[in-house]
Amino acid sequence: MDAAALGAALRAALEGVQDLGKAAEGDKTMVDALAPAVAAYEAALADGSDLAGCARAAAEAASKGADGTVPMRARKGRASYLGERSEGHMDPGASSTALVLEALADTAGEG
């Protein structure tokens, strides 16, 4: 797989998640990690980075996005039932998204 194809797949994944869950950035969902990851991947690709560089940029952006969910109040998904109790905790979907993208970056760097 080349960097452009993976970027297109990541973009399609983001759009699919947003379409199915009606989530946007700021809702304290996996979108808060995936959207900045896709944007960082696409920016790195536009700057001429290879697959490993694009994947690393995505992983770093996803990690920052996941960290950013800690102070948020969940507005979508199961965590939304917790209301204010969701504040102060990282969203599990954002956390797992960051972990997946970190694994992708690690694997892409091996090639």
Q: What is the pLDDT of residues 44-81, one digit of tens each?
A: 999 999 999 999 999 999 999 999 999 999 998 888 88
pLDDT confidence of residue 111: 60
pLDDT digits (tens, 9 = 90+) for 83-109: 999 999 999 999 999 999 999 999 998
Stretch 15-20: mean pLDDT, rounded? Answer: 96
Name the percent of the chain in helix, strand, coil, to the closest 5. Answer: 70, 0, 30
**pTM, to two decimals:** 0.94
Exposed, middle or buried by CB within 10 Å (0-12, 13-18, 19+), for 93?
Answer: buried
Residue type, 80: S
CA-wise closest residue to 88 among 98, 100, 79: 79
